[in-house]
Amino acid sequence: MYTVCRLNVLSHNFHIQQLERHNMGFELDDNQQKGMVFNVQKFSVHDGPGIRTIVFTKGCPLRCRWCSNPESQLHETDLAFNVGRCLGVSKCGHCTLACPFGSITVGSNDIPKIERSHCKDCEHKPCAEACPAQSLLIYGKERSVEDVLSVVEQDMVFYARSKGGLTISGGEPLLQTDFALALLREAHNRHIRTAIETCGMVQEETLRAAAPLLHNVLFDIKHIDPVIHKEQTGRSNEQILANFKMLVTEFPKLPVLARTPVVPNFNDNGKTIKAICDFLLPFEHVHYEMLPYHRLGTQKYQFLDRPILMGDVQLNNKKFHGLQNIAATILGERFHRPNK
Ligand code: SF4
Ligand code: SF4
């Protein structure tokens, strides 16, 4: 009897919540809200506490020269071409027939040549569907909150043991504001712990709306100098730093891990790392981590036919260790050395 009553109360509360949300202008049930997602990665141990499932959303306001997820930058789907898997046009050629714009012709060595000017607006990318070798692939797919959370929920037992959960990453996860907030609200309803990895370049109100739904925030602070930040990411850092200050002062109980990707010829020097640590020092509950630049995304630039702006530059390990020592000296135990 108690169970039936309790279910009735829960159901009643749920409908009241739905009504309130409707009155507030939310037209869709959170579970139906859709967003553009390019990957759901299980069993991550690097992007928040414990074992996590990372939902990678598309769209980013920055264009960091070192970005290791170039497929995350545009909101629209991307066409990837892995030349190594192609069967050759004379043996196959399905893609040349499938493209409604005639954008695929025969290039050198019998390999398709793609003229990409129509690809961004070509929503369904039939060439990829026609390719029998998965040489042509689509990065990005519209997925509902229900669909994404059904995958996330498969690992609840691991989250419970490790205090892990869902991390929304990107791209910038809060750029698809309605989707991100619906995903966080519904995760909250399902008792899934939540985190975001944000570049901070979002509307202050969006960050403020997301904060109460989060258990952890991983917040990138890439540089302190607005001019250098703009040169290397396409945008100044003023809004990012203001958002960071707002978040850590208005939500002092929300654990925040500030992170700096340490990138050669951008911020791999003592002066910059010291300036970042000095900026973080007054915010006593904020922890800090430095991530060494890597070249793991290089192949994806080739698949997308985009220039690798970083060339073949590498991060000097010895220098990186020295920079970690600077951070440890300023921030003490609030500085976390990267996991090996
Ligand atoms: S994505 Fe569309 S426009 Fe681009 S090559 Fe494929 S079918 Fe043609
Ligand atoms: S359909 Fe795929 S395998 Fe066939 S020619 Fe085109 S890219 Fe190559």
Domains of the chain (ranges, CATH numbers): 27-73+141-336 (3.20.20.70), 78-138 (3.30.70.20)
Among 77, 101, 124, residue to substitute to test ligand 1 (most atoms within 8 Å of Cβ): 101
Ligand nearest to the CA of 114: 1
Q: Which residues contact 111 (CB under 8 A, 6 or more apart)?
A: 83, 86, 88, 89
- Contact in structure between 323 and 290 (CB atoms under 8 Å): yes
Task: Look up residue 176 and give its two tokens.
Answer: 């698809």
Q: Nearest-CA neighbor of 168 among 205, 204, 123, 202?
A: 202
Per-residue pLDDT of the chain (340 residues; tens, 9 = 90+): 343 344 344 444 444 454 455 555 556 799 999 999 999 999 999 899 999 999 999 999 999 999 999 999 999 999 999 999 999 999 999 999 999 999 999 999 999 999 999 999 999 999 999 999 999 999 999 999 999 999 999 999 999 999 999 999 999 999 999 999 999 999 999 999 999 999 999 999 999 999 999 999 999 999 999 999 999 999 999 999 999 999 999 999 999 999 999 999 999 999 999 999 999 999 999 999 999 999 888 999 999 999 999 999 999 999 999 999 999 999 999 999 976 5
Ligand 1, residues 77, 105, 118, 131: which to mutate, most atoms within 8 A of Cβ? Answer: 118
Residues 6+ apart with CB under 8 A from 308: 298, 301, 302
> Which ligand 1 atom lies nearest to the CA of residue 124?
2
Round to whole Å and give the CA distance between 101 and 59. Answer: 25
Q: Residue 313: is it exposed, middle or buried by C-beta count within 10 angstroms (0-12/13-18/19+)? A: middle
CA of 86 relative to ligand 1 center, distance in Å: 16
Q: Which atom of ligand 1 lies at the shortest distance from residue 104's CA?
A: 5
Contact status, residue 69 vs residue 297, Cβ threshold 8 Å: yes
- Inter-residue contact 256 to 247 (CB < 8 Å): yes
Contact between 225 and 233 under an 8 Å Cβ cutoff? The reply is: no
d(CA 273, CA 327): 7
Question: Residue 220 forms beta bridges with which residues?
Answer: 259
Alpha-carbon Rg for the chain in angstroms: 22
Dist. CA 149–CA 169, nearest whole Å? 15
Residues in Cβ contact with 302 at an 8 Å cutoff, skipping those fewer than 6 apart: 83, 308
**Residues with Cβ within 6 A of ligand 2?**
86-87, 89, 92-95, 112, 130-131, 133, 135-136
Q: What type of residue is 25?
A: G
Residue pair 4/23 in contact (Cβ under 8 Å)? The answer is no
Whose CA is closest to atom 1 on ligand 2? Answer: 131
Cα-to-centroid distance, 266 and ligand 1 (Å): 36
The residue whose CA has the least distance to atom 8 of ligand 1 is 99
Q: Using CA atoms, how far apart are residues 281 and 254, in angstroms rounded to an integer?
A: 17
